[in-house]
């Protein structure tokens, strides 16, 4: 059972996630997000993360130069591609930068499910998330859930995380319904956009680990 706490911005929230037992910590590099970090801010936070906890960089349709600059300044273990990157682009980034790649796939209905199979052939991990609202500025972190029954009987050869609208109160039920053994949360452990609640972080990890 593994938990990813995404959108961390302060030393206190990083420490809370580590202390609670999170396996992945997500740092957001997307200026439109209330969780956006500069490279310097992210580097300072990453320096406090102990060995064995995976540091994930969330990017949205980032170009090669942007990725290279980020990786030159921030010690990152995994790239999370949360934009409209094609399977070809995912495979290229993985090869070009030599890091494992997690690809986020937005799900709203059954028509979105074939993408999970398609991207599972090129990504190291999938993030099965709620689809971005039409016209919405953020591809993730919107606090929205999709109908988990859509993926209840499905499986992919690639490891995957469940995301989208998860909270300390519903994560255990979501895991039992979908069979997920990895979960991701951002807005579900916040008091306001980008403001993490340390008690909610602890409660979320406890609930998730207690579901299996």
**Tens place of pLDDT for every residue, the chain, 212 residues?**
999 999 999 999 999 999 999 999 999 999 999 999 999 999 999 999 999 999 999 999 999 999 999 999 999 999 999 999 999 999 999 999 999 999 999 998 999 999 999 999 999 999 999 887 655 444 544 456 888 999 997 888 899 999 999 999 999 999 999 999 999 999 999 999 999 999 999 999 999 999 86
| Residue 212 confidence (pLDDT) | 65
| Residue 142 confidence (pLDDT) | 47
| Residue 131 confidence (pLDDT) | 84
| Residue 202 confidence (pLDDT) | 98
Which residues are CB-contacts of 44 (< 8 A; sequence separation ≥ 6)? 11
What DSSP string describes 42-54?
HHHHHTTSPTTSE
- Contact between 6 and 184 (Cβ < 8 Å): yes
| Residue 133 confidence (pLDDT) | 60
| Residue 80 confidence (pLDDT) | 98
| Residue 145 confidence (pLDDT) | 81
| Residue 140 confidence (pLDDT) | 46
DSSP 133: P
- Three-class SS of residue 207? helix
**CATH code of the domain in which 132 resides:** 3.20.20.70
Q: What is the pLDDT of residues 177-200, one digit of tens each?
A: 999 999 999 999 999 999 999 999
Active site residues: 6, 129
Average of per-residue pLDDT values in the chain: 93
Q: What is the distance between the alpha carbons of residues 165 and 142, in angstroms, rounded to a whole number?
A: 7
What DSSP string describes 155-190?
--SS-EEE-SS--TTTHHHHHHHH--SEEEESGGGE
| Residue 134 confidence (pLDDT) | 55
Domain extent, residue 149, equals 2-209
What DSSP string describes 19-40?
HHT-SEEEEEE-TTSTTB--HH
- Contact between 145 and 162 (Cβ < 8 Å): no
Helices (H), 74-179: 87-97, 114-120, 171-178
Q: What is the distance between the alpha carbons of residues 2 and 79, in angstroms, rounded to a whole number?
A: 17
CA 114 to chain centre: 20
Which residues are CB-contacts of 110 (< 8 A; sequence separation ≥ 6)? 150
Number of domains in the chain: 1
Measured CA distances, 20 to 24, 27, 194 (Å): 11, 17, 19
């Amino acid at each position: 059972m593994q938990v990813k706490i995404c959108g961390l911005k302060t030393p206190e929230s990083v420490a809370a996630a580590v202390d609670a037992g999170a396996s992945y910590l997500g740092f957001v590099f997307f200026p439109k997000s209330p969780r956006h970090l500069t490279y310097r801010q992210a580097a300072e936070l990453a320096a406090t993360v102990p060995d064995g906890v995976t540091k994930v960089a969330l990017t949205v349709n980032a170009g090669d130069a942007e990725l290279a600059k980020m990786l030159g300044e921030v010690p990152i273990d995994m790239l999370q591609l949360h934009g409209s990157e094609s399977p070809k682009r995912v495979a290229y980034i993985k090869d070009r930068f030599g890091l494992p790649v997690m690809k986020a796939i937005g799900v709203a209905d059954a028509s979105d499910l074939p993408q999970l199979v398609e991207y599972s052939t090129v990504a190291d991990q999938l993030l099965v998330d709620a689809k971005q609202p039409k016209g919405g500025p953020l591809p993730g972190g919107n606090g929205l859930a999709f109908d988990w029954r859509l993926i209840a009987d499905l499986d992919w050869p690639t490891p995957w995380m469940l995301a989208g609208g998860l909270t300390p109160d519903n994560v255990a039920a979501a895991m039992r319904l979908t069979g997920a053994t990895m979960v991701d949360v951002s807005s579900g452990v916040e008091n306001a956009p980008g403001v993490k609640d340390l008690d909610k972080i602890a409660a979320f990890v406890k609930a998730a680990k207690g579901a299996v």
